[in-house]
């Protein structure tokens, strides 16, 4: 059997088990109807290799439980309980590289009816090694997708609902087949929403601009953090609707999210952004973020959960 790409232990049905034992029936409601919600959390190996640092773990857990409320996936765990299970699981897996942590609240019943009420839910957590998800060494190329971002009254866009990610998958495939690294999705109003799995910022006249949380975006934790970092560094930040044509004339554009981290954008729909290179605001935010998660001294240290690994 091929070696699992996952770390050896998972949390499944209330306890820690070897990853091979964390399996579900093919009739599972979440598998059939996409009735799950998840978090995506990175663990960064500290510069000295002795700790795993997690950025804003309590915030990720709060959003997970809130996503669960939206899809009525009730589990007997408060956000801090799930955070504590993750800390223990990281210690048990004792990774020696950067990791990605995937907590998953899902409808575990075998009912046939596509509904939410009364179907029991479970919590599962697994982990895997993960380096950079997009190549951050050069600015990426984006294209505006023909797939529109799901609207909140179609599939709640601020919840990380598994079924909703079909929307991201369609856009990501189209982007790849068009020769782009990722897609920018517009919402039904034709305003810029976000990328397939990341929020988007532009810089115009020196001000940092991002879509508001009512633009059918996921309320990104990295997004919220970068707004704070930028304001504290004296950069003007605006949360407002962004037109497609503003993308083409921005001085800088970047994506941000747990998976993507902070990725400078070099072109959109074939038009070069700024001088095509990473801009100064993007660079400042990247440096603030990466030094923090790798354990360097920072005023944002409060956002890091450090887990000693033996």
Q: What are the residues binding ligand PMP (CB under 6 A)?
A: 40, 168, 194, 197-199, 218, 220-223, 257-259
Nearest distance from C-beta of residue 58 to ligand PMP, angstroms: 13
Nearest distance from C-beta of residue 44 to ligand PMP, angstroms: 14
Which of residues 119 and 200 has its CB atom nearest to ligand PMP in the complex? Answer: 200
Which of residues 4 and 146 has its CB atom nearest to ligand PMP in the complex? Answer: 146
Q: What are phi and psi of 246, to 5 degrees?
A: -65, -30
Nearest distance from C-beta of residue 240 to ligand PMP, angstroms: 18
Which of residues 43 and 257 has its CB atom nearest to ligand PMP in the complex? Answer: 257
Task: Please name which of 154, 185, 188 lies closest in space to residue 170, comparing C-alpha atoms.
Answer: 185
Nearest distance from C-beta of residue 261 to ligand PMP, angstroms: 9
CA distance 75 to 41: 19
Which of residues 226 and 273 has its CB atom nearest to ligand PMP in the complex? Answer: 226
CA distance 248 to 4: 43
Cα–Cα distances (Å) from 200 to 17, 47, 204, 232, 252, in that order, read 38, 28, 13, 19, 11
The helix/strand/coil state of 307 is strand
Q: What are phi and psi of 37, to 5 degrees?
A: -145, 155
Nearest distance from C-beta of residue 200 to ligand PMP, angstroms: 9
The helix/strand/coil state of 70 is helix
Which of residues 222 and 282 has its CB atom nearest to ligand PMP in the complex? Answer: 222
């Amino acid at each position: 059997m091929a070696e699992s790409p996952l770390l050896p232990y998972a949390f499944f049905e209330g306890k820690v088990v070897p990853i091979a034992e964390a399996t579900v029936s093919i009739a599972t409601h979440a598998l059939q109807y996409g009735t799950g919600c998840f978090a995506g959390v990175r663990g960064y190996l500290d510069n000295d290799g002795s700790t795993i640092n997690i950025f804003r773990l309590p915030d990720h857990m709060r959003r997970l439980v809130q996503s669960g409320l939206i899809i009525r996936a009730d589990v007997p765990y408060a956000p801090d309980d799930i955070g504590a299970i993750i800390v223990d699981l990281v210690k048990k897996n004792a990774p020696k590289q950067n990791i990605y942590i995937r907590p998953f609240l899902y409808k575990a019943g075998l009912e046939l009816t596509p509904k939410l009420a009364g179907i029991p839910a479970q919590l599962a957590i697994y982990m895997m090694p993960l380096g950079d998800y997009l190549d951050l060494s050069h600015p990426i190329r984006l294209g505006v997708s023909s797939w529109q971002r799901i609207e909140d009254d179609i599939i709640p866009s601020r919840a990380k609902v598994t079924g909703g990610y079909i929307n991201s998958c369609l856009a990501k495939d189209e982007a790849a087949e068009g020769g782009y690294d990722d897609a920018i999705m517009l919402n039904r109003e034709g305003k810029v929403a976000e990328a397939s799995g990341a929020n988007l910022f532009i810089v115009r006249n020196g001000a940092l601009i991002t879509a508001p949380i009512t633009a059918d975006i996921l309320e990104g934790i990295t997004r919220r953090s970068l707004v704070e970092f930028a304001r504290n560094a004296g950069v003007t930040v605006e949360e407002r609707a962004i037109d497609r044509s503003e993308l083409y004339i921005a001085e800088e554009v970047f994506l941000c999210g747990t998976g993507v981290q902070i990725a400078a954008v070099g072109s959109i729909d074939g038009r070069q952004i700024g001088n095509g290179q990473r801009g100064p605001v993007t660079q400042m935010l990247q440096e603030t973020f990466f030094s923090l998660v790798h354990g360097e001294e920072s005023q944002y240290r409060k956002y890091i959960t450090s887990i000693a690994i033996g």
